[in-house]
């Protein structure tokens, strides 16, 4: 992977890609906190917004969360959580409340269509992701200069995984935000000089954010902040810093915020929520690979090369620095934020990339600290060659997504529009690798430009146009054009949550026999997979159903990883 600077490297480059230009921009942003925050928000918006409104609902988690929220709005029941007729007892209620507020506000502006517009359910994740970038900056200010803190914020703004979660209507971006609030407060408390005087503001931030995290994702929020506290208290042989956070009063406040819903859900479900959420969902993920998401120890160490790209290059280069300075108080704190929780997740049997997302800000700050102290500039050749990951992975992403765009169909005008954006992205990424020895800071800024351009090309131009994978959107469009109400539509065996979200809660998830019966009884439309068509036809013959094939929808199910053909049947005599 060794890279050398090509001849002519000293020639002028486009201003937007010039390391000197980017460094001057960083100089200007570092002048004040307002400028620093403005830069981070702008970069985060440019990184997160492409595709935010145009990528359809993603199966299955996002669509299940969104459908459950939609049912809360439909029923007015904001305590129990249900997906169609099934209790959804996996996560607490926090994310559903946030999504309900977002959709209700949008509904007041744009009308009923807001309930089936996935972007409005994604807004809490988007705002939380932007907030996480700013909070990473705030956390870094306890360790590095304003300039270094901006670098840490940019590492999160350009992070592949955070970009994905910012575009998904689920819990993980919001959990990251709440956890980071507590981490910032903990850092401020830890670095207070003795005597540790209680600080009501810091305590309120810490415990309120912890309560919000518990309401979003249960015990994970206490895990991410509790393990660092325990490790620091052991290493320091003192937990005196906790006095700043008023632990007794704070814990009471946290319980006051959390307990009402936890008591209400116990009463409403007669304890079934806890039986499933703790006994099945949580313990199942610890002891066995839940839903097929098994992975051996070391899975996250391997996955981070893709999920924390492009910042992972600087993180890897900071490892020798972290080991050498592990006894220094700032480095010890950052390692305590990351290492204990990382070990826990590596030991758990179920592995999903987003589980360790709240640990990435600590890694970003550690990399910024190493960068500011000159440790990254002095890395050896072996670690220095890791800079090749910037262009190599970027090129791989473009190749894979380009193949997907070609294979799964798309609007070729969008493909042509993406070409210059992706070409400029790869130019920046290759330039970042070749100019690394001129300065790690400028090289990483160039990599950030390349990453942001890459996300724009992929999310805005390529992914939404891969029509073969957006089966639910196409089927929903057919039902909408025909004016079919949700209760008059049956589907078998394609029963993805996104279809219920887009068509309506009353959509009939059924079998081929009942699908034929529904059309006979006045139903409007039946979506029948190719393998179920013979059973549907047999039942139609038995009951004397006269029907016609309106159209066929071929596609590719990315969850099952197989090609499908769905026949759309309508009763004879129904509209076109």
pLDDT value at position 414? 86
Residue 288 has pLDDT above 70, yes or no: no
Contact 52, 119 (CB under 8 A): yes
Q: How confident is the model at residue 295 (pLDDT cuts 50, 70, 90)?
A: confident
* Residues 486/506, Cβ–Cβ less than 8 Å: yes
User: What pLDDT, on the 0 to 100 scale, is given for residue 286?
Assistant: 57
Instruction: Compute CA distances 65 → 272, 316, 443, 494, whole Å.
Output: 19, 35, 39, 19
Q: What is the pLDDT of residues 39-68, one digit of tens each?
A: 999 999 999 999 999 999 999 999 999 999
> Is the pLDDT confidence value at 77 over 70?
yes
Provide the pLDDT confidence category of residue 19 given band limits of 50, 70 and 90: confident
pLDDT tens figures, 122-139: 999 999 999 999 999 999
pLDDT band at 7 (very low <50, low <70, confident <90, very high): very low
CATH of range 470-571; options 3.30.1330, 3.30.460, 3.40.50, 3.40.190: 3.40.190
Q: What is the pLDDT of residue 278?
A: 72
> In angstroms, rounded to a whole number, what is the distance separating the alpha carbons of residues 485 and 472?
16
What is the pLDDT at residue 18?
81
For residue 11, the model assigns a pLDDT of 44
Quick one: pLDDT at residue 409? Answer: 82
Span 202-218, average pLDDT? 97
Q: Give yes or no for residue 289 having a pLDDT over 80.
A: no
Of all helices (H) and strands (E), which one includes residue 566?
A: strand 562-571
- Please report the pLDDT score of residue 252 as a whole number: 98
pLDDT in tens, 89-116: 888 999 999 999 999 999 999 999 999 9
The domain locations on the chain are: 380-467, 470-571
Per-residue confidence band for 13, with pLDDT thresholds at 50, 70 and 90:
very low
Percent above pLDDT 90 for the chain? 86
Predicted pLDDT at 499 = 98
What is the H or E stretch that residue 551 is in?
strand 547-557
Q: How far apart are CA 514 and CA 492, in angstroms?
A: 10
- Answer whether residue 444 shows pLDDT above 50: yes
| pLDDT, mean of residues 400-420 | 89
Distance, CA of 39 to CA of 27 (rounded, Å):
11
Q: How many alpha carbons lie under 13 Å from residue 465 in its C-beta half-sphere?
A: 23
500-510 burial by CB neighbour count: b if 16+ within 10 A, else e?
A: bbbbbbebbbb
Q: What is the pLDDT of residues 139-161, one digit of tens each?
A: 999 999 999 999 999 999 999 99
Q: Is the pLDDT of residue 574 over 90?
A: no
Q: Indicate the helix (H) or strand (E) that contains 548.
A: strand 547-557
What is the b/e burial string over 401-411, where b = at least 16 CB atoms within 10 angstroms of the residue's CB? Answer: bbebbeebbbe
Please provide the distance, in angstroms rounded to a whole number, between the alpha carbons at the two ends of the chain.
59
DSSP tag of 350: B
Alpha carbons 457 and 468: distance in angstroms, whole number: 19
How is residue 191 written in tokens? 């670095």
DSSP 458: I
Distance CA 178, CA 184 (A): 10
pLDDT above 60 (res 10)? no
* 570 Cβ contact partners less than 8 Å away, ≥ 6 residues apart: 482, 519, 524, 525, 526, 547, 548, 550
> What average pLDDT does the chain have?
93
């Amino acid at each position: 992977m060794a890279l050398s600077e090509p001849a002519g490297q000293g020639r002028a480059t486009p201003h937007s890609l010039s390391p000197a230009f980017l460094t001057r921009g960083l100089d200007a942003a570092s002048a004040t906190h307002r400028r620093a925050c403005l830069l981070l928000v702008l970069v985060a918006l440019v990184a997160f917004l492409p595709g935010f409104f145009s990528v359809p609902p993603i199966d299955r988690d996002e669509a299940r969360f969104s459908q459950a929220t939609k049912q809360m709005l439909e029923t007015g029941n904001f305590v129990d959580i249900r997906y169609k007729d099934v209790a959804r007892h996996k996560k607490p209620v926090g994310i559903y409340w946030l999504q309900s507020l977002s959709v209700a506000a949008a509904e007041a502006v744009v009308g009923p269509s807001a309930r089936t517009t996935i972007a409005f359910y994604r807004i809490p994740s988007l705002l939380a992701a932007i907030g996480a970038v700013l909070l990473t900056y705030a956390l870094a200010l306890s360790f590095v200069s304003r300039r270094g803190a901006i670098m840490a914020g940019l590492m999160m703004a350009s992070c592949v995984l955070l970009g994905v979660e910012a575009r998904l209507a689920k819990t993980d971006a919001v959990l990251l935000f709440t956890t980071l609030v507590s981490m910032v407060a903990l850092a401020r408390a830890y670095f207070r000089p003795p005597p540790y005087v209680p600080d009501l503001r810091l305590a309120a931030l810490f415990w309120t954010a912890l309560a919000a995290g518990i309401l979003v994702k249960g015990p994970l929020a206490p895990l991410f902040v509790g393990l660092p506290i325990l490790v620091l208290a052991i290493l320091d042989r003192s937990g005196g810093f906790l006095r700043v956070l008023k632990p007794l009063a704070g814990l009471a406040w946290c319980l006051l915020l959390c307990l009402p819903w936890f008591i209400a859900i116990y009463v409403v479900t007669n304890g079934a929520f806890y039986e499933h959420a703790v006994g099945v969902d949580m313990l199942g993920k610890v002891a066995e690979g839940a839903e097929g998401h098994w992975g051996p120890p070391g899975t996250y160490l391997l996955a981070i090369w893709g999920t924390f790209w492009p910042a992972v290059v600087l993180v890897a280069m900071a490892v020798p620095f972290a080991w050498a300075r592990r006894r220094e108080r700032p480095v010890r704190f950052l390692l305590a934020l990351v290492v204990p929780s990382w070990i826990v997740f590596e030991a758990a049997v179920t592995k999903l990339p987003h589980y360790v997302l709240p640990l990435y800000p600590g890694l970003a700050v550690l990399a910024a600290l190493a960068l500011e102290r000159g440790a990254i500039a002095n890395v050896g050749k072996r670690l220095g060659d890791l800079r090749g990951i910037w262009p190599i992975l970027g090129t791989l992403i473009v190749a894979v997504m380009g193949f997907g765009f070609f294979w799964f169909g798309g609007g070729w005008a969008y493909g042509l529009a993406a070409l210059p954006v992706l070409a400029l992205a790869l130019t920046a990424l290759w330039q970042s690798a070749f100019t690394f020895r001129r300065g790690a800071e400028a090289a990483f800024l160039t990599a950030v430009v390349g990453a942001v351009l890459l996300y724009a090309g992929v999310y805005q131009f390529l992914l939404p146009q891969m029509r073969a994978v957006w089966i639910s959107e196409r089927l929903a469009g057919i039902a909408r054009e025909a004016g079919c109400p949700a209760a008059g539509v049956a589907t078998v065996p394609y029963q993805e949550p996104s279809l219920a979200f887009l068509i309506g809660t009353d959509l009939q998830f059924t079998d081929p026999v009942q699908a034929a019966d529904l059309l006979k009884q006045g139903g409007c439309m039946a979506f029948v997979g190719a393998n179920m068509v013979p059973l549907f036809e047999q039942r139609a013959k038995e009951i004397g159903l006269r029907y016609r094939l309106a159209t066929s929808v071929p596609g590719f199910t990315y969850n099952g990883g197989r090609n499908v053909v769905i026949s759309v049947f309508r009763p004879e005599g129904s509209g076109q």
